[in-house]
Structure 1
């Protein structure tokens, strides 16, 4: 035959290429199968289970008919051997009767008559009690036996041949015993069917020469796309792209970062999210709408590319924009969507919970996820299993923790309930997280506008009722700037920080030390005076093979913009400088309102 070799590029995925060949060439051929078979003499369309049942029933019938046939043949042969043995026991009389007869028919009649008159039976040593139970011998000779004796060759009358006849007779008795037991027991018949199938498998069970796969028409777009982790980036002005997660190299905290998206001067990266290319993404807009898209449908771009306007991909109105994204891996799993929830929160502290099932039927023009009141907008969306604890944080540095069960599930059109009290028009919610009480490896990470951040144990935040003011989560000062985000992280993850200037830095969570609630934290990224942090996101740790050198602490932002491999600052302890950034302050707890 012909052997075809397809040479792939270094970064190509072999399975994706094979799927493309299956779909667009004759490499794979499909055959239609009409599963019509006879059942009790009538044709019927059957599924695989029906076919197996019919086959077993057919094999059962074959085994029964074969056993009956073999039993009849064994009994017939045993009957003839019985006649031979009777004749050998009366050999002199048999020879005399045959010599005195004029014709074969006369000899046959004389043998039958004589054997019945003298009541010829087998020797008891040959015909045991067990044999009597399985095989009933007749008195004298039958017509069939007499005819067989007349046809017997003289050499069979020797002593050695007599022993052979006895052995054959005993063997037939055992065969008759086994066949009668088989016909009397259904389980024995099933065991025999199984044994015979295993024998066929052992004899003919070589490897399949061809390979059976799903039909070419059943290859979906998902089968043609490599399953890999990507970073979804959305800018403030609504540009979206997906970038391989490996393009974000790891640096130490305090680093200058590397150039990320190239955005317009008034634009900046506002949202980052990590997903697999085969996942389903739910987009939630600030006006409370929800849209669907598969990750592989998002245009791919390099780390520094601007991306594509999201309005060109999903039907978002021009005066609306994406504020939250949820990655769903099991959207086709009915049990999963019925037992998971989407929790939404707004900048004014409203929180709402709706079942994931309400978002499982995509619509091109989206659906309403929450009713937003005037002056408010959607901020965050999370997926939960209904047993989490919810934390909400506001820009002024407060956070609240309460059980998710305090928020009852409502329909998509509901407004929601109060989650945290927002003081005035200058304050607003900056983030919401869902806490798993059984996950002891995670901590609460907060980051401020000026690049300060810290991790705090979840136990430092006491559980209260929803709607309260909460407690201090970071000591907000002019130096730290307002609180910009809150995350629920573990040490094996990385933190991605994105600035309004477009600069990004990726650093290990483990490098950010834990501190009390009321502290300022440590410097995570050095910013220019005119720059601020725009967004933070967490990602599974994936360190580049190329080690980032930690050297000069005075590298400028211009230098970082020129060289994508910009060096980071030394990983020094910033808690001991003259400003004492991480000094503990008073607990400053704010009691919740009723």
Structure 2
């Protein structure tokens, strides 16, 4: 190594400190994080301002750009702030200035702007060279008495000037205007409030330090957003005020108006806080275009400077309530996450409502105390001067002679101090007095001023000697600010009627669901089909395409959960309202868009249930005569791809399903007209993957047609049997004696060429209504009482007049109780 180059290892060891790099990085990151937290992102609890807000307002104060002055170019204000106090670039300073001037961002704007300062549509403000600003009157209250040593000052970034660490803040700005910011590892989001309500709560806390959050909420009803709208529910408000955190739902304000020929429109007049109006209208339009929001014919934004007005015109006949709820669900509600985080003594803290107000009160007490001390010192100094002037007036001739005969000012001052025992300040003041102040009128004025100063000294001393007097000053000043700036609450608080869900948008009604072999499905209102006499042809219930046929029709409520069992032994779960509603002559929608069916798989049975009782089982029967019971809880968690409901042998299919409770018997009917009745207990509970046990011995090519559960009460109930050619009969269940499982059974109905094979069996009461549907889509509703009650082994009567190329596909039962209720409702109308 060259002798001219110093050896880096040849250093005094005392100047080198060894540290672990991870420790250094950790400490450096902590220092950076605290710098961001305290210096950029979080407001102080005392004045509710971040450094950039505070520096802008103080710079305007120093420039004299107050509410009483003319507006000044924003670029000038930004430049002064950046040059003297905030060396972080002009863009963030101007952005902050703009926000403080926006009426839709600040509940009480701190800056009075002139020019384009942006809009609710997300439009940016004009460049700072085009806009002008000055302090708003309310912001001057934040800086009032700052010159009276009420707050601490620190050197600015280059030590040229002093800037306030916090503003005196004559009102609780943190709650009044709120704040938001993201720091390192934490964030704050404080909503704005009504100034009058916050001041009332502050006064209440001063008068009663033991007041609870509930007591303070008698005054502060909730956040008060500059854009108005509605807060949904009070529980979230209470949580936010109690813990400092909460999630508040804010809902737009709107009303329904009539216009044109029996048409309605929804007019939105207030939006949730911080909502982008243009983007909101755009998203509504996108949903209308995509078909996700139906019933809207036109959408316009008619907003102007006077306020928001978004018009949603509805189509004639559209369900207004459904459109309203869909708009609320996707567009007109917004959640405001409250995080009441602020800097307290330089440390971030999440504060309750009471803690926030208490910290403000403590700050205000310190401000008023320091101001009173400052004013007292000023008053005592003035009183001291006035005492000297009064004494000088008492000896005016001697004082004048002494001054006149003195060599210079210094000699005159010294002579006054020695002769009349004046203090240095008094002597200096007397020497500089004008002769005109020696008049008798002037003497009277000095005496009056001295008395006034003495009264002021007594008042200030009383404030400093009594906490009660100090608090009364704070209370009085707060009430004066309320009288000056208070206004009406803009945001209303409405009761929480529950979260709007997709299900809430669907009217609850009884419907018929029709399914075809090619997996087309639809639903129709039950009331669309009036009861007919037995033997009718019915009316069109579905437009079945060539080669397709109806396989099932069943009744359900639009809000019911349906378990759909297929011939392949799978089970799927869906809500009835997920099936599209269509007219009688419509074909339906492909079920593959609703249920993931395999090729050749079709739905053969549907169970209508929300949840199973502990004792209930799902009982299934297959075409080859196997029956089994599975606990209902095994079907509670069904994937979208379905579950196995029964294991089937090759060539077998699942035919029918019943929900049973173990208290009755099971009746299995075959296509050849045979039935067997046995106790449900003869079939033990099995898992979903089990095949089951034999229910009936089938002869020849016979196959199972259906399953009936008698239940624990069968008095007067009949077994309805309907054949493919539209014939059927009712036979009392009591005529079917109980046998052992897996027997040949008894003859139920003759299945000759006239009747054809059995299609469906149901347990019915005489007052029940029947829904019979043919493979070609004809549907008929009739009363069970229209079908004669006869014995077993008979031909039956015509239930439905089925065409030669058609056949009965399915039969479902409308229970008598529901039908009675429906008829009673019809009578009431």
Match of 1:457 in 2: 732
Match of 2:616 in 1: 340
Q: 2:574 aligns with which of 283, 288, 293?
A: 293
Q: Is the 8 A contact 1:311 1:318 kept in 2?
A: no
Q: After superposition, give the CA deviation of every residue in 1:319-341 in whole Å (9 maximum; x if it has no partner).
A: 3221111111x33xxxx453321
Match of 1:440 in 2: 715
State the Cα distance separating 1:242 from its structure 2 match.
1.1
State the Cα distance separating 1:315 from its structure 2 match.
1.3
Match of 2:325 in 1: 19
Sort the Cα spacing of 1:529 and 1:45 in 2 relative to 1 into closer, same or farther, 3 A. Answer: farther
State the Cα distance separating 1:490 from its structure 2 match.
1.7
Q: Where do 5+ consecutive residues of structure 2 fail to align?
A: 1-227, 229-252, 258-263, 265-313, 341-348, 353-491, 824-829
Q: After superposition, give the CA deviation of every residue in 1:61-96 in whole Å (9 maximum; x if it has no partner).
A: xxxxxxxxxxxxxxxxxxxxxxxxxxxxxxxxxxxx
Sort the Cα spacing of 1:45 and 1:228 in 2 relative to 1 into closer, same or farther, 3 A. Answer: farther
Report the 3-state secondary structure (helix = DSSP H, G, I; strand = E; otherwise coil) of the residue aligned with 1:296.
Answer: helix
Report the 3-state secondary structure (helix = DSSP H, G, I; strand = E; otherwise coil) of the residue aligned with 1:475.
Answer: coil
Match of 1:183 in 2: none
Whether 1:308 and 2:589 are equivalent positions in the alignment is: yes
Sort the Cα spacing of 1:22 and 1:408 in 2 relative to 1 into closer, same or farther, 3 A. Answer: same
Report the 3-state secondary structure (helix = DSSP H, G, I; strand = E; otherwise coil) of the residue aligned with 1:520.
Answer: coil
Q: Distance in 2 between matches of 1:34 and 1:351?
A: 60
State the Cα distance separating 1:210 from its structure 2 match.
5.1
Q: 2:516 aligns with which of 235, 244, 247?
A: 235
Match of 1:511 in 2: 786
Q: 2:544 aligns with which of 260, 263, 272?
A: 263
Q: Is the 8 A contact 1:341 1:353 kept in 2?
A: yes
Sort the Cα spacing of 1:34 and 1:386 in 2 relative to 1 into closer, same or farther, 3 A. Answer: farther
Report the 3-state secondary structure (helix = DSSP H, G, I; strand = E; otherwise coil) of the residue aligned with 2:571.
Answer: strand
Q: Where do 5+ consecutive residues of structure 1 fail to align?
A: 36-42, 47-208, 546-594
Report the 3-state secondary structure (helix = DSSP H, G, I; strand = E; otherwise coil) of the residue aligned with 1:536.
Answer: strand
Report the 3-state secondary structure (helix = DSSP H, G, I; strand = E; otherwise coil) of the residue aligned with 2:532.
Answer: coil
Whether 1:482 and 2:757 are equivalent positions in the alignment is: yes
State the Cα distance separating 1:491 from its structure 2 match.
2.5
Q: 2:812 aligns with which of 514, 537, 540?
A: 537
Q: Distance in 1 between matches of 2:583 and 2:329?
A: 28
Q: Is the 8 A contact 1:337 1:360 kept in 2?
A: no
Match of 1:5 in 2: 256
Q: 1:427 aligns with which of 674, 677, 702?
A: 702
Whether 1:279 and 2:576 are equivalent positions in the alignment is: no
State the Cα distance separating 1:10 from its structure 2 match.
9.2
State the Cα distance separating 1:390 from its structure 2 match.
0.8
**TM-score when normalising by structure 2:** 0.42
**Equivalent residue runs for 1:125-524 within 5 Å:** 211-214=494-497, 218-328=499-609, 330-331=610-611, 336-424=612-700, 426-524=701-799
Greater relative CO (CA pairs within 8 A, separation 6+)? 1
State the Cα distance separating 1:256 from its structure 2 match.
1.8
Q: Distance in 2 between matches of 1:246 and 1:34?
A: 52
Q: Distance in 1 between matches of 2:590 and 2:507?
A: 24
Q: Distance in 2 between matches of 1:255 and 1:457?
A: 24
Sort the Cα spacing of 1:220 and 1:252 in 2 relative to 1 into closer, same or farther, 3 A. Answer: same
Report the number of matched residues. 368
Q: Distance in 1 between matches of 2:572 and 2:254?
A: 47
**TM-score when normalising by structure 1:** 0.57
**Equivalent residue runs for 1:27-42 within 5 Å:** none
Q: Is the 8 A contact 1:13 1:226 kept in 2?
A: no
Report the 3-state secondary structure (helix = DSSP H, G, I; strand = E; otherwise coil) of the residue aligned with 2:256.
Answer: coil
Match of 2:453 in 1: none
Sort the Cα spacing of 1:484 and 1:3 in 2 relative to 1 into closer, same or farther, 3 A. Answer: closer
Q: Is the 8 A contact 1:420 1:466 kept in 2?
A: yes
RMSD: 3.0
State the Cα distance separating 1:441 from its structure 2 match.
4.5
Report the 3-state secondary structure (helix = DSSP H, G, I; strand = E; otherwise coil) of the residue aligned with 2:800.
Answer: coil
Q: After superposition, give the CA deviation of every residue in 1:348-370 in whole Å (9 maximum; x if it has no partner).
A: 11001111111111212111111
Report the 3-state secondary structure (helix = DSSP H, G, I; strand = E; otherwise coil) of the residue aligned with 1:459.
Answer: helix
Q: After superposition, give the CA deviation of every residue in 1:378-409 in whole Å (9 maximum; x if it has no partner).
A: 10111122323111101111111111111111
Q: After superposition, give the CA deviation of every residue in 1:189-224 in whole Å (9 maximum; x if it has no partner).
A: xxxxxxxxxxxxxxxxxxxx9542156xx3221112
State the Cα distance separating 1:18 from its structure 2 match.
4.9
Q: Is the 8 A contact 1:498 1:534 kept in 2?
A: yes
**Equivalent residue runs for 1:48-87 within 5 Å:** none
Q: Distance in 1 between matches of 2:705 and 2:790?
A: 20
Report the 3-state secondary structure (helix = DSSP H, G, I; strand = E; otherwise coil) of the residue aligned with 2:325.
Answer: helix
Q: Distance in 2 between matches of 1:230 and 1:350?
A: 32
Match of 1:556 in 2: none
Sort the Cα spacing of 1:45 and 1:309 in 2 relative to 1 into closer, same or farther, 3 A. Answer: farther
State the Cα distance separating 1:306 from its structure 2 match.
1.0
Q: 2:800 aligns with which of 525, 531, 535?
A: 525
Q: Is the 8 A contact 2:759 2:809 kept in 1?
A: yes
Q: Distance in 2 between matches of 1:339 and 1:44?
A: 51
Q: Distance in 2 between matches of 1:367 and 1:389?
A: 27
Sort the Cα spacing of 1:510 and 1:18 in 2 relative to 1 into closer, same or farther, 3 A. Answer: farther
Q: Distance in 2 between matches of 1:44 and 1:464?
A: 74
State the Cα distance separating 1:501 from its structure 2 match.
2.5
Q: Distance in 2 between matches of 1:33 and 1:509?
A: 61
